[in-house]
Amino acid sequence: MSDLFSLSDCDVIGFDLDHTLCRYRLQESSKLIYDSFAQYLVAEKGYTEDLLSVTTEEWDFCSKGLVLDLEEGNFLKLAADGTILRACHGTKTMTAEMIAEIYGEKRVWKHFKEINGTYARSAKYYFYDNYFDLPGALLCAKIVDSLEMTDEQSKYDFWKDVISAVEHNYKTTAFKENCGTYFPTVKKDPGKYLKSCPDSVKNWIRSLKNAGKTILLITSSHSDYCRLLCEYIFGKDFEELFDIIITNALKPGFFSLTPQQRPFWTLESDIEIDRLPTMEKAGWYSQGNWLHLYNLLKKMTGKPEPKTVYFGDSMRSDIFSARHYCSWETVLILEELEGGEVQEPDVTDFGSCLKKKGKYDSLQPQEPYSVSKKWGSYFADSIPGTKSTQEIQTATWCCISIRDYSTITIPSIMSIVDLPLDHKFPRFSSNNSDTDGFYPHPPAALLSQNKEGAAA
């Protein structure tokens, strides 16, 4: 495999929708997601009304890459070997002594082997890896706080109620029925929560089609919500941008399940009508599986093994699954590469990075990502030392996952639309440096880590 990646080498280019092509106004959408769950829990499940209010400072708790240990009520930030770097019980920071008391002196989380390399969900833990998830992390932390105030808990059983809140707000019929809080609110004022897609992105997608690429949209959103999003960000003619649209894909199941487990369905007025034994032509479909899609792509491209790349924002649903099950190239959209996590390298310190510059220099994120004070960098952290050892700088589990499963990682689609189609990106590979797959800049925490390693 080449150590360089180029879109010009791909026959098929696929996109996720939410937080990939469709970017949200994060402050507003996060508050709405939180409120939609909290209101249900208070009204329907009898939880304390204290959950309904969130201070500005409390939002700092939200950080991608956390794991909720449901057995203990603890949130964990993990290193690549499962060592706990930081932890909170509810929203309360745990000391090194508290962590060691529960997880042992080596601070290794016992379920790490189960989740590492699978990203599976369990009744014992939950992995937060996208912006739809993060408000739920804060809510769960506040629930643990409230339970501790009323009665000291050794086991926690609130998770079933959180799942009920999710199902109430996001079930496939919720949009049509105007059910819950989330969909009715977005429908009423989409501009409050969504960012319009720049013309440069739309023109870029058209240029990909004009270059002979087959363009896919694969989203877990139901068709009616997908239509609302696409009409707002692209315009009512959005369907012309894509050869195939797949909604209600229920990723990662779309990639991992068999055709018998997850067939395609035709749609009529956003209702699934006919179950399909195969895919025969381009169009708009519901649910489905990658094997039937792959067979259609062979016909459409005229190639026995069409090369596919998929853009997405979720490690679990998009990046790991597309790479692990389908061997697709993957581009991770990671807004943590904007704002506080990125330091433009000095020419003398990281001159090779300048070679990766395109026409992104004028790109200014509307809502720069800020690093959580409670959790620190998404990419790297330190393992506290003991009396006989010094603290050790290490990459996080999430950072290593990015290197293992994404081809390249970018902050947004906007960062590459002005590059030529045959632009060659250094990919994540054993032959490249640990930071080469990040475009346009690597995270500052990794640059610092590399310097410290070289000095040692």
How far apart are the C-alpha atoms of 417 and 90, rounded to whole Å? 41
Tokens describing residue 161: 């109620």
SS3 435: coil
How far apart are the C-alpha atoms of 334 and 20, rounded to whole Å? 9
SS3 letters across 212-271: CCEEEEECCCCHHHHHHHHHHHCCCCHHHHCCEEEECCCCCHHHHCCCCCCCEEEEECCE
3-state helix, strand, coil in the chain (%, to 5): 40, 20, 40
How far apart are the C-alpha atoms of 27 and 193, rounded to whole Å? 9
Question: Strands across the sheet with 214-218, in order?
Answer: 271-276, 264-268, 283-287, 244-247, 214-218, 12-15, 308-312, 329-333, 408-410
The answer to whether 317 touches 25, Cβ cutoff 8 Å, is no
CA atoms within 13 A on the CB side of 321: 23
- Please identify which of the residues 11, 18, 133, 381 carries the catalytic annotation: 18
Can 434 be counted among the known catalytic residues? no
Please name every residue paired with 287 in a beta bridge, in sequence order, or none if there are none.
264
Task: Please give the DSSP secondary-structure letter assigned to residue 420.
Answer: -
- Please identify which of the residues 16, 224, 243, 381 carries the catalytic annotation: 16
| DSSP string over 336-354 | GGSGGGB-PPPHHHHGGGG
Backbone angles phi, psi at 311, to 5 degrees: -100, 130
What burial class does residue 88 get, using C-beta atoms within 10 Å of its C-beta: 0-12 exposed, 13-18 middle, 19+ buried? buried
Tokens describing residue 135: 């408000």
Which among 154, 453, 127 is positioned nearest to 314, based on CA atoms? 127
Q: How many helices (H) and strands (E) does the chain have?
A: 15, 18
Which among 279, 288, 284, 285 is positioned nearest to 259, based on CA atoms? 288
Residue that is written with structure tokens 């009744």 in the block: 123
Alpha helical stretches, state H, 362-436: 397-405
How far apart are the C-alpha atoms of 90 and 85, rounded to whole Å? 16
Alpha helical stretches, state H, 67-115: 96-103, 112-115
Can 16 be counted among the known catalytic residues? yes
Catalytic residues: 16, 18
